[in-house]
């Protein structure tokens, strides 16, 4: 019985030690921003060494040794560094953070009293690209592309004719597409609400301006305008042709006489000589001129 209590006391002491030596935090950062992972150290015993490492075999390892004031960096990109000087602040800084930095990190502190671990879980948030369009089938389409986590999409006004679909990408992002039918709707506007930890967006679509019947109306209007223009052009050409034929009929003979170049000059003068009266013939007659 005494042995059993001794074992239980040892297990309890070990559990208390583990709880006191472990700490855990979660950090969520938007892609492209700065991520800071803290490693609190409150012991009065002087620090011997601190090591930051990501939980994978070939990931970054960042270490600092106080007795020699030496830092070491292994398999770490230039985006990973100490927040400040490691002898005053043990926090890890990642800037700019991307999806590849997401995961679990461990800060291990060593001093004369032992080793202490502090765990951090880094989550990278990616805001989606939001669009609101319509298609020819009479559906309004609200799409939140490549977001992490997946965005929530809702409509104003709400409708029972809403369908959604999701596409999961290999990098962990999600595209969510929501459809709502508005062919028989009498409302002039539909509004899409997109909620996400990184962004909240509201987009509105004027249905009266985006009706799929509009292109057909435009095409029909263009055809009508073209038909009216064609008829008007035909009438103008017919009127001009009629006037040209009428003018040609009126001036056919004078044009031929005037432009006839092979008529002798005497004939031409006779042709244009005005008629002479009998009085003018004997006006200058002198009988002596015969002798």
CB atoms within 10 A of CB 258: 9
Burial 1-39 (b: 16+ CB within 10 A, else e): eeeeeeeeeeeeeeeeeeeeeeeeeebebbbeeebebbb
Token reading at 242: 């009629």
Residue with tokens 């990931």: 59
Q: pLDDT band at residue 237, thresholds of 50, 70 and 90?
A: low
Which DSSP category does 235 fall into? H
- pLDDT the model gives residue 129: 96
User: What DSSP assignment string belongs to 98-151?
Assistant: -GGG-EEEEEEEEETTEEEEEEEEEEEEBPPEEEEEE-TTSEEEEEEEEEBSPP
Whole-number pLDDT of residue 266: 45
Is residue 172 scored above 90 in pLDDT? yes
What is the Cα–Cα distance from 121 to 123, expressed in whole angstroms?
7
Q: Residue 94 in contact with residue 67, Cβ under 8 Å?
A: no
Which option is the CATH number for 129-206: 2.60.40.10, 3.40.50.880, 3.30.70.100, 3.40.50.1010?
2.60.40.10
Q: What is the pLDDT of residue 264?
A: 47
Q: How far is CA 261 from CA 236, 250, 265, 272, 276, in A?
A: 36, 21, 10, 15, 26
CATH code given to domain 20-125: 2.60.40.10
Determine which of 23-27, 82-86, 201-205, 215-219 has the lowest per-residue pLDDT on average: 215-219
Domain assignments of the chain as residue spans, ordered by start? 20-125, 129-206, 212-270
Question: Hey, which residues does 54 pair with through a beta bridge?
Answer: 105
Residue 191, token pair as written in the block:
């509004």
Report the pLDDT value the prediction gives residue 22, as an integer from 0 to 100. 55
Q: 201 CB contacts (<8 Å, ≥6 apart)?
A: 130, 193, 194
Tokens, residue 163: 């369908």
pLDDT, mean of residues 100-104: 93
Percent of the chain with pLDDT over 70: 62
Higher-pLDDT residue of 89, 209: 89
pLDDT at 236 (0 to 100): 55
| CA separation for the pair 252, 272 (Å, rounded) | 18
pLDDT of residue 46: 83
Mean pLDDT, the chain, rounded, equals: 74
Whole-number Å distance between alpha carbons of 139 and 256? 75
List the beta bridge partners of residue 233: none
Distance in angstroms (rounded) separating the CA atoms of residues 52 and 81 = 10
């Amino acid at each position: 019985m005494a042995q059993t209590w001794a074992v239980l006391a040892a297990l309890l002491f070990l559990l208390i030690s583990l709880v006191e030596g472990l700490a855990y935090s979660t950090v969520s950062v938007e892609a492209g921003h700065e991520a800071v992972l803290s490693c609190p150290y409150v012991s009065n015993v002087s620090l011997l060494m601190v090591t930051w490492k990501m939980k994978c075999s070939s990931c970054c390892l960042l270490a600092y040794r106080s007795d020699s004031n030496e830092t070491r960096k292994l398999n770490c990109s230039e985006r990973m560094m100490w927040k400040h000087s490691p002898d005053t602040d043990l926090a890890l800084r990642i800037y700019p953070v991307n999806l590849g930095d997401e995961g679990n990190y461990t800060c291990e502190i060593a001093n004369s009293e032992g080793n202490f671990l502090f765990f951090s879980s880094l989550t990278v948030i990616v805001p989606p690209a939001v669009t609101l369009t319509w298609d020819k089938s009479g559906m309004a389409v609200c799409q939140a592309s490549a977001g992490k986590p997946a965005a929530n999409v809702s409509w104003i006004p709400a409708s029972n004719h809403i369908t959604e679909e999701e596409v999961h990408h290999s990098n962990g992002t999600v595209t969510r597409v929501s459809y709502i039918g508005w062919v028989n709707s009498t409302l002039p506007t539909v509004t899409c609400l997109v909620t996400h930890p990184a962004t909240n967006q509201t987009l509105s679509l004027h249905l009266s301006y985006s009706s799929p019947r509009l292109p057909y109306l435009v095409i029909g209007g263009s055809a009508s305008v073209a038909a009216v223009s064609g008829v008007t052009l035909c009438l103008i050409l017919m009127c001009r042709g009629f006037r040209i034929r009428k003018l040609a009929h009126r001036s056919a003979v004078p044009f031929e006489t005037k432009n006839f170049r092979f008529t002798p000059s005497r004939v031409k003068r006779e042709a244009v000589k005005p008629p002479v009266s009998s009085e003018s013939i004997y006006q200058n007659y002198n009988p002596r001129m015969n002798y």
